[in-house]
Amino acid sequence: MEQDILRLAREVALAERILVITGAGLSADSGLPTYRGLGGLYNGLTPEGMPIERVLSGPMLREKPALCWKYLAELGKACLNAQPNAGHFAIAELQRRKPECWVLTQNIDGYHRLAGCVAERLIEIHGELAPLFCQSCGREDRELEAHLQRPLPPLCPQCGGILRPPVVLFEEMLPEKAIADLHQQLEQGFDLLLLVGTTASFPYIREPVQQTRWRGGFTAEINPAFTDLSQSVVLHLPGRALDVLPKLMSHIFRH
Ligand SMILES: [Zn+2]
């Protein structure tokens, strides 16, 4: 694999327009459970006898906010109990050194920001778990950790409305700004696309891969497992982001 890392390093060094797409595998290296979208924390049914896709849905947050929040709280605790890893930090460094490097993430843990990613070039396609906001008055609330110690759902200290995270629940639309940013950047095209720990191949992952190939750009994937997209990329590096990305960076920016 060392030769493949060197090859990817050469390609990254030459590229200007870069898109890094990250998924659950990257957060799994931080010790977070892998989940598909918001789901796979639980396989099958919750103790209430419902699929996780139903309890973590927009309609459930409206109808039974305490039940929806029971599972949002588990996600919240998992994220608060872990932290960004060497893979996140390597991606943030790449962004700082490559002024046209964008990051598109499926992850909601906010670790790219914590690792120092350039916020203007970060697209969080499934939103983020914090800060919470009030569904009634819109007030922002930065006390996620404190709320998780209290009865759920968390309430707005200003108006008593129910708080929620700016995350995309099942049956909710992807954020308009994220989609608009992505399309605007795709129109300009990318020289290089790197998939990191993504599992599910949503259209917003497949399309950039196909488009980058079609335009003659380089495509690569870092993932210990083979995925739906492994055969669509030029180079598949079967390793963990945590190990491969820092090595990659050391080859590119040696001086
Ligand atoms: Zn309020």
CA 140–ligand 1 middle distance (angstroms)? 8
Q: Is residue 219 one of the residues assigned to a domain?
A: yes
In a domain, 8, yes or no: yes
Task: Tokens 């191949």: give the residue.
Answer: 201
pLDDT single digits (tens) 153-197: 999 999 999 999 999 999 999 999 999 999 999 999 999 999 999
The pLDDT of residue 43: 61
Eight-state DSSP code of residue 85: -
216 in a domain, yes or no? yes
Catalytic residue among 126, 236, 251, 255: 126
Residues with Cβ within 8 Å of 164's Cβ and at least 6 positions away in sequence, in order, are 61, 72, 132, 133, 135
Give mean pLDDT in consecutive 10-residue pieces for the chain, a chain of 255 residues: 95 97 92 59 75 92 97 91 96 97 95 96 95 98 95 97 96 95 96 92 91 97 93 95 96 79
* 162 Cα to the center of ligand 1, angstroms: 7
Structure token digits, residue 19: 């898109």
Q: What is the pLDDT of residue 117?
A: 97
C-alpha 155 to ligand 1 mean position (Å): 8
- Helix/strand/coil for 219: strand
Question: Is 126 a residue of the active site?
Answer: yes
Alpha-helix residue ranges (DSSP H) falling in the chain: 2-14, 24-28, 52-55, 58-63, 65-80, 86-97, 111-114, 144-147, 176-188, 203-214, 241-252
Taking only Cα atoms into account, the Rg of the chain, rounded to an integer number of angstroms, comes to 19
Distance in Å, CA 144 to ligand 1 centroid: 15
What pLDDT score was predicted for residue 254? Answer: 73
- Residue 37 is assigned to a structural domain of this protein: no
Residue pair 66/49 in contact by the 8 Å Cβ criterion = no
Please give the pLDDT value at position 115: 97
CATH code, 223: 3.40.50.1220
Residues 32, 36, 38: CA angle, nearest 5 degrees = 75
Q: Domain limits at 18?
A: 2-32+84-128+173-252
CA distance 31 to 163: 27
Query: Is 43 contained in some domain?
Result: no
Indicate the pairing of strand 163-164 with strand 132-134: antiparallel
pLDDT at 140: 98
The two tokens of residue 196 are: 């990191």
- CB-based contacts of 29: which residues, under 8 Å, 6+ apart? 85, 87, 197, 240, 241, 242
Could you tell me if residue 66 is inside a domain? Answer: no
Distance (Å) from CA 105 to ligand 1 centroid: 29
Distance 69 CA to ligand 1 centre (A): 17
53 belongs to a structural domain: no
Could you tell me the distance, in angstroms and rounded to a whole number, from the CA of residue 161 to the centre of ligand 1?
Answer: 5
pLDDT at 15: 98
* Residue of 11, 188, 26, 214 lying closest to 100 (CA atoms): 188
pLDDT (0 to 100) of residue 127? 94
Domains identified in the chain, total number: 1
**How much distance in Å is there from the Cα of 132 to the middle of ligand 1?**
11
Q: Residue 195 is inside which H or E element, if any?
A: strand 192-196
Rounded CA-CA distance 89/68 in Å is: 32
Residue 73 lies in a domain: no
